[in-house]
Amino acid sequence: MATLSTTAGPVRQISRSRALLNLLRDGDELAHAVTLTFGASILVITFLLIYELWIHSTLSRQKFGFSFFFTSTWDPNFGQFGSWPFIYGTLVTTAISLIIAVPLGIGAAIFLSELAPPKLSRGLSFVIDLLAAVPSVIYGLLAVFTLVPLMRHTIEPFLKRNLGFLPLFKGPAYGVGFLTAGIVLAVMIVPYIISVSREVLLAVPQDQREASLGLGATRWETTWKVVVSYAGAGIMGSVFLSMARALGETMAVTMVIGNQPKVAASLLSPGYSIASVIANEFAEATADLHLSALTELGLVLLALTLVLNGMARVLIIMTARKGSGVAQ
């Protein structure tokens, strides 16, 4: 009895695993299983990321609660941590960069895909892809050496002279600050917007253009009312992809933003961003509460990205409905 049962087990297992192998041999099941695992790993990684940030920020969350988001003191020595200046700086610099980069990027993409001769379009696209691959620290360095002096000596004094009555352009011109950081970010994200928008525009079926032209629309009417509106969701997608990059950009921003945790209405004023303060202080933070607060900032940045992306989705859905309504 005993010998029988011990040998029967492995035999059955072997036959079972053989059956499994036969099942996998066709490839369909195997491919399904493998890709499912890979797909699921994204969810697992995201979950683990949030979980780890949540666990490691316990100390700070318990001590400050919701006041963490609304207070402005960041003092490692006295153990006072408020994240508002960093949230503010992140949002302001991202907004400035989008205001500059979106019209520029979409305009360039329309030109490249619809109006430019194909040869020129291909050449320029290559250059743009090259720009997108430049590491951010290079942009930061270039900004420190060229943009910052230009801002201090020329652009900021000009803004103060002509628009100084607005609270947006008050205070001393340091050359570093929200505006400079926003401009650097804009330069960094423009290639993304152009590159993705161009692909989306090129993917618009040729029939659409021909139909529109056939109905008597001009070249520009076709481009704007048919091609661009057809590609609207994709273009929005490119904008939000680049927004995510602007939100999380670290090195280039910290080099030009001034690193002062301060909330100021003036765009010329130095500020700080979430990603910059984490990069700056994490390595040398020794107090547990300080580390915990920095981790919570990471959580805040993640949440900010999620919320803005969620809003983007809603916007895309809404505009898509409107678009189809017009078409009918």
Partner 1 sequence: MKKPLLIVSLCLGIAGLVAAQGGTVQLQAAGATFPAPIYTKWFDAYKKINPKIEVNYQPIGSGGGIRQLIAKTVDFGASDGPMTDDQLKQAPFKILHFPTVLGAAVPSYNIDGVNTPLKFTGKALAGIFLGSINKWNDPEITKANPGVKFPAEDIVVIHRSDGSGTTYIWTDFLSKVSPEWKAKTGGPNTAINWPTGLGGAKSEGVAGLLKQTPNSIGYIELTYAIQNGILYGDVQNSAGNFVKATLASVSEAAAGAAKDMPDDFRVSITNAPGKNAYPISSFTWLLVPAQIQDTGKREILKGFLNWMLKDGQGYCEGLAYAKLPPPVVAKEAKAISLIQ
At 69, which amino acid appears? F
DSSP class per residue in 284-326:
T--SHHHHHHHHHHHHHHHHHHHHHHHHHHHHHHHHHHHHHHH
Beta carbon of residue 161, minimum distance to partner 1 (angstroms, whole number): 19
Cα separation, 85 vs 188, in Å, equals 23
Cβ proximity to partner 1, 185 vs 190, nearer residue = 185
Binding mask 226-255 for partner 1 (x = CB under 8 A): ----------------------------xx
Buried b (16+ CB within 10 A) or exposed e, 32-65: eeeeeeeeeeeeeeeeeeeeebeebbebbbeebe
Six-digit token string for 17: 């695993």
Cα separation, 243 vs 312, in Å, equals 10
Cβ proximity to partner 1, 78 vs 207, nearer residue = 78
> With CB under 8 A, what is the number of residues at the site for partner 1?
38
Q: Which of residues 73-112 bind partner 1 (CB under 8 A)?
A: 73-78, 80
* Residue 160 makes contact with partner 1 by CB under 8 A: no
The residue within the footprint of partner 1, chosen from 142, 213, 263, 279 (CB under 8 A), is 279
Cβ proximity to partner 1, 69 vs 174, nearer residue = 174
Cα separation, 79 vs 52, in Å, equals 22
Cβ proximity to partner 1, 23 vs 120, nearer residue = 23
Cβ proximity to partner 1, 229 vs 269, nearer residue = 269
Q: Which of residues 165-194 bind partner 1 (CB under 8 A)?
A: 172, 174-176
Spatial neighbors of 199 by CB under 8 A, at least 6 apart, are 234
CB 160 within 8 A of CB 267: no
Cβ proximity to partner 1, 150 vs 316, nearer residue = 150
Give the Å distances, CA to CA, from 240 to 136, 243, 244, 260, 298. Answer: 18, 5, 6, 27, 20
At 198, which amino acid appears? R
Q: Which of residues 256-275 bind partner 1 (CB under 8 A)?
A: 258-261, 270, 272
Beta carbon of residue 20, minimum distance to partner 1 (angstroms, whole number): 12
Which span sits near partner 1 by CB under 8 A: 13-21, 97-105, 235-243, 316-324?
Answer: 13-21
The residue within the footprint of partner 1, chosen from 148, 181, 239, 274 (CB under 8 A), is 148
Spatial neighbors of 31 by CB under 8 A, at least 6 apart, are none
Binding site for partner 1 (CB under 8 A): 14, 18, 21, 73-78, 80, 144-145, 148-149, 152, 172, 174-176, 254-255, 258-261, 270, 272, 276, 279-286, 290-291
